[in-house]
Amino acid sequence: MVIKMSRPLHRGVPAIRVTSSSNGLLDSQVKEQIEKEELDRNQSSHRFPFWSLFSDNSPLTKYDATDNGFASDPFIVGTPRSRHRLTILLLKSSLVVIVILALTGSFWWTLSISTSSRGHIFHSSRRLQEQLVSDLWDIGELSFGTSRMKEIEFCPGELENYIPRFNVSENLDSGFSDGNEYDRVCRQGSRQNCLVLPPMNYKIPLRWPTGRDIIWVANVKITGQEVFTSGSLTKRMMMLEEEQISFRSASLMFDGVEDYSHQIAEMIGLRNESNFIQAGIRTILDIGCGYGSFGAHLFSEQILTICIANYESSGSQVQLTLERGLPAMIGSFSSKQLPHPSLSFDLLHCARCGIDWDKNDGSFLIEVDRVLRPGGYFVWTSPLINVQSSLRNKEKQKRWNFVRDFAENLCWELMSQQDETVVWKKTSKKTCYNSRISGSGPSICSKVQDVEFPYYRPLQNCIGGMHSRRWVPIEERATWPSRSNLNPSELALYGLHLDELNEDTANYRIIVRNYWSLLSPLIFSDYPKRPGDEDPSPPYNMLRNVLDMNARYGGLNAALLEARKSVWVMNVVPTTGPKYLPLILDRGYFGVLHDWCEAFPTYPRTYDMVHAEGLLSLESSQHWRCTMLDIFTEIDRMLRPEGWIIMLQGWIIIRDAALLIDSARVLTRRLKWEARVIEIESNNDERLLICQKPFFKRQPS
């Protein structure tokens, strides 16, 4: 992919670009362009938006889009009622005449050019034409004033942790209970297109890996009491120090994480946690993860642990985990299935996670079984498991007996039980379900019930995943990192050939290299090094949390890891696109299904970089079920602010069709983003839009 800078990065770009002499500027530009290039005869009939020059009542200009980000076709000619309007009309007419003369002259000049040079001229004339259109649109803005380019307003201060569709108090008022108040609920008009400001004393997070162990208190919503009174095993493993929360191993409590991980490995039958990979364990779903200490410890062993927990208005497990640079998202077992395919994870972990597994007729355990791969493990730590305690409390003993018996009916093997921890192993053989005593457990889902791609469907009371062609025990899969390169038989399940995946991987190698060749000068021009310091290879120590909004096969994730970038990627497969999420998960990455017309289940300011290749084309093919502005304000909500002097944060990279990129660039001004458009010479129909979200500090009220 060959790329060429076409527009500079503007900081603090105003709503309208005003020139001192619009007519003179256009005249000189047209003459200069005619001297350099000419337009091909076949392009002389190129559609040109002359109507925007004549229409005083037109609701849009090029940089004045509708909520969708697209200009409508406002061919409405108003009658001038003043001398001012007559002057503007004459100015526009003059511009049109100049353009027609320029195009006509270019046409006759083209006829005299030799055939051998026409290919180069066609390529250049197309750019000339596009630039001419762009300049005329800019001039057209002068006649409409600044009202059309009104910037998006900032949200009120109380919305600093705003997550659309998650509002516990409103859910309680609506009658939700029994854990359902934590669910995502769609309400008419619940989305607010405003820009979420950071907290008053927000600071740019520390660089990885320092940021894994130390975070700023002001960046998250948590009280000192929540720090010291939390009951979760891994929540207790932190200390409050002035403006920071420390997760370093400075106390005996932190030694418990390593000992706990070692204990789990031994209960599985391994020497220690470093052998998880050899046992087929690569991806772990940590339910109610505390603040991510379990996953942080296993990260050095190349184990990918994703945290899911309920929405919490304060002291959020998900928010603090993401602030540490660890994978996390809001998720609940209360009433809906998780937005993951069946057979997705190698191990599920729950350490005092707050879920009553004996409730709801065992449907929570059935959901665990659905997302757990054959041969995978379920690890549960709870006081309920303590034998001595249960013997003294008949109610606890009854609840433990229910979970133990239900797990057996799910064909889980009880591998080991120590103190408050128990480990089960899911069966690798489908024949186990047929050998159960009739009526002793949940039935197997029918093909109609067994949906492989559920998207927040109600919890099922039958065993899912049995009809999936991906029923492969974890011990029979290739171990990491070989797992990322699927073999031909595995790819055939998705209708793909090996050369298609190899081509995608090679393409993303080039894309990642080009992205960072663009970002590196910007990073180091704003972050001067001390004498003798070496340039870290971006995004190492610069970017950590990456969101891929249209992940396809997970190629970006693969290329970043291959390039040894110290990042993790949230791979999102849109509900409106091809369903390759199981492929991404089978490669050993993490991913989730999501509808981008809805709010993503995360807190504000949680991602360093957002990548969206082809997303706008995908949504436009669905006739824009929501506006481009809706999508962009959601991106802004998820992005961390940046500090140009301290470190780079908050990049958006969008690659799409040229027309869509031009429309997207319109909205970047309204969102106050600093934007740069890159032309891709290898593909004239695509452009690259790179934006940066500024760091707007909240002013004291």
pLDDT for position 220: 93
**Amino acid type, 485:** N
Same domain, yes or no, for 419 and 490?
A: no
pLDDT for position 553: 97
Q: What is the CATH number of the domain that holds 534?
A: 3.40.50.150
- Name which residue leads in pLDDT, 238 or 417: 417
Residue 582: pLDDT over 70: yes
Same domain, yes or no, for 308 and 390?
A: yes
User: CA-CA distance, 397 to 389, in Å (whole number)?
Assistant: 8
Residue 35 maps to a domain:
no
Residue 20: pLDDT over 60: no
pLDDT for position 70: 38
The overall pTM is greater than 0.85: no
User: CA-CA distance, 334 to 183, in Å (whole number)?
Assistant: 8
Lowest mean pLDDT among 447-456, 487-496, 646-655: 646-655
Average pLDDT over residues 532-551: 68
Same domain, yes or no, for 291 and 400?
A: yes
pLDDT for position 248: 66
pLDDT for position 428: 96
pLDDT for position 524: 54
- Residue 296's domain comprises 250-435
Identify the band that residue 441 occupies on the pLDDT scale cut at 50, 70 and 90.
Answer: confident
User: CA-CA distance, 59 to 52, in Å (whole number)?
Assistant: 9
User: CA-CA distance, 284 to 265, in Å (whole number)?
Assistant: 13
Average pLDDT over residues 298-303: 93
Reading the block at residue 606, the tokens are 């949680």
pLDDT for position 519: 72
Residue 471 maps to a domain:
no
Identify the band that residue 475 occupies on the pLDDT scale cut at 50, 70 and 90.
Answer: very high
Residue 425 maps to a domain:
yes
Residue 239 maps to a domain:
no
Identify the band that residue 506 occupies on the pLDDT scale cut at 50, 70 and 90.
Answer: very high
pLDDT digits (tens, 9 = 90+) for 307-345: 999 998 888 899 999 999 999 999 988 889 999 999 999
Same domain, yes or no, for 399 and 532?
A: no
Average pLDDT over residues 504-512: 92
Residues whose CB is less than 8 angstroms from the CB of residue 687 and which lie 6 or more positions away in sequence, other chains included = 6, 655, 656, 657, 658, 661, 662, 677, 678, 679, 680
Which CB contacts under 8 angstroms, 24+ apart, belong to 88-92? 88/56, 88/143, 89/54, 89/56, 91/22, 91/23, 92/53, 92/54, 92/140, 92/143
Lowest mean pLDDT among 88-92, 336-340, 428-432, 529-533: 529-533
Same domain, yes or no, for 404 and 518?
A: no
Residues whose CB is less than 8 angstroms from the CB of residue 566 and which lie 6 or more positions away in sequence, other chains included = 208, 209, 539, 540, 541, 544
Residue 500: pLDDT over 90: yes
- Name which residue leads in pLDDT, 381 or 512: 381
Reading the block at residue 487, the tokens are 């073999």
Residue 190: pLDDT over 60: no
Same domain, yes or no, for 667 and 611?
A: yes
Residue 210 maps to a domain:
no
Residue 34: pLDDT over 90: no
Residue 568: pLDDT over 80: yes
Same domain, yes or no, for 519 and 397?
A: no
pLDDT for position 89: 79
Residue 125 maps to a domain:
no
**Amino acid type, 352:** R
Same domain, yes or no, for 422 and 486?
A: no
Question: For 354-503, where are the E strands, in sequence order?
Answer: 372-381, 412-418, 421-426
Identify the band that residue 497 occupies on the pLDDT scale cut at 50, 70 and 90.
Answer: very high
Residue 634: pLDDT over 80: yes
Counted domains in the chain = 2
Identify the band that residue 7 occupies on the pLDDT scale cut at 50, 70 and 90.
Answer: very low
Residue 297 maps to a domain:
yes
- Name which residue leads in pLDDT, 116 or 291: 291
Of 435, 464, 491, at which residue does a domain stop?
435
pLDDT digits (tens, 9 = 90+) for 214-264: 999 999 998 777 766 554 555 555 667 778 888 865 443 445 888 999 999
Whether the Cβ atoms of residue 543 and residue 570 lie closer than 8 Å to each other: no
pLDDT for position 666: 83
In percent, how much of the chain has pLDDT > 70?
Answer: 68
Residue 686: pLDDT over 80: no
Residue 76: pLDDT over 50: no
Q: Which residues of 476-515 are buried (b: 16+ CB within 10 A; e: fewer)?
A: ebbbbeebbbbeeebbeebebeeeebeebbeebeebbebb
Whether the Cβ atoms of residue 164 and residue 191 lie closer than 8 Å to each other: yes
- Name which residue leads in pLDDT, 639 or 687: 639
pLDDT for position 180: 54
pLDDT for position 255: 53
Same domain, yes or no, for 313 and 401?
A: yes
Residue with tokens 């995360």: 602
Same domain, yes or no, for 360 and 492?
A: no
pLDDT for position 50: 29
Lowest mean pLDDT among 295-304, 518-527, 540-549, 590-599: 518-527
Residue 55: pLDDT over 50: no
Residue 198 maps to a domain:
no
Same domain, yes or no, for 508 and 397?
A: no
User: CA-CA distance, 377 to 412, in Å (whole number)?
Assistant: 9
Of 380, 407, 435, at which residue does a domain stop?
435
- Residue 367 C-alpha from the chain's centroid: 24
The rounded mean pLDDT for the chain is 76
Identify the band that residue 412 occupies on the pLDDT scale cut at 50, 70 and 90.
Answer: very high
Same domain, yes or no, for 400 and 490?
A: no
Average pLDDT over residues 26-50: 40
Identify the band that residue 402 occupies on the pLDDT scale cut at 50, 70 and 90.
Answer: very high
How many CA atoms does the CB half-sphere of 348 hold within 13 Å? 26
pLDDT for position 583: 97
Average pLDDT over residues 145-173: 71
Of 368, 403, 435, at which residue does a domain stop?
435
Identify the band that residue 474 occupies on the pLDDT scale cut at 50, 70 and 90.
Answer: very high
Angle subtended by helix axes 22-36 and 83-111, to nearest 10:
0
